[in-house]
Chains A and B, each alone.
Chain A
């Protein structure tokens, strides 16, 4: 079974631009979560989607948004990019049969904001 895939793997943007990152979960997985990883702050939870609904949200500004499609694929968008948004953005999926379950991570999208 294929793992979590993320596209693109690398991205360079300039301040003020916006960016959309894509995540395809493991087949059959219905929950998709997004995390930001930086050297200074480590791994931080952004949001989680299940059945096209955002169920949990971390402490990030409204510039960070996401959505999930009916096939469980998810996208996250960052508008008005800032230098501090440079990070590795990780997507994770889990089966979700009712209790917390293992989240499996993709390779991430490395975003550099200039």
Chain B
């Protein structure tokens, strides 16, 4: 389905803690998934991606987990920093189509 929006889920964590942001995707035919970070006044910034033939992928301080059985995606951010405060979007791409279907987003706030 398409993004719903309006009331973003929020997550507040203490600086230095780990955070986990969850996302449910809708299309079982999607085979490419991306996490984006959007700061106020800016366009979405690529964080990490994963293809459907993988369950886990790690980047610098971030890990994405994909559970195709329940159509669930998660983003783990380790040792959060103030600069991690932003809205995080998951996006899925249907097989064969260069288009992204975005989730509604989660607002992450890092408390000092």
**Number of cross-chain contacts by CB at 8 Å:** 78
Q: Which residue of chain B has its CB nearest to the CB of A48?
A: B98
Give A contacts to B, CB under 8 Å: 4, 31, 33, 35, 38-45, 48, 50, 55-56, 58-59, 90, 92, 94, 96, 99-108
Give B contacts to A, CB under 8 Å: 2-6, 31-32, 34, 36, 41-46, 49, 89, 91, 93, 97-105
Q: Which residue of chain A has its CB nearest to the CB of B49?
A: A102
- Kindly list 6 other residue pairs between chains A and B, CB separation below 8 angstroms, not including A40-B5, A43-B91, A45-B101: A33-B98, A42-B3, A50-B98, A92-B100, A100-B97, A102-B49
Between-chain CB contacts (< 8 Å), 15 pairs: A31-B98, A38-B5, A40-B5, A40-B6, A41-B2, A42-B4, A43-B91, A43-B105, A92-B100, A100-B32, A101-B98, A103-B46, A103-B98, A105-B43, A108-B43
**B43 lies within 8 A of A94 (CB):** no
**A41-B5, A90-B44, A100-B93 given; A33·B102 CB < 8 A:** no
Dominant secondary structure at the B interface: loop
Complex Cα–Cα for A53 and B70 (A): 36
Nearest-neighbour CB distance to chain B for A33, whole angstroms, equals 7
**A107 lies within 8 A of B5 (CB):** no
Complex Cα–Cα for A26 and B105 (A): 25
Chain B contacts of A58 at CB under 8 A? 99
**B31 lies within 8 A of A100 (CB):** yes
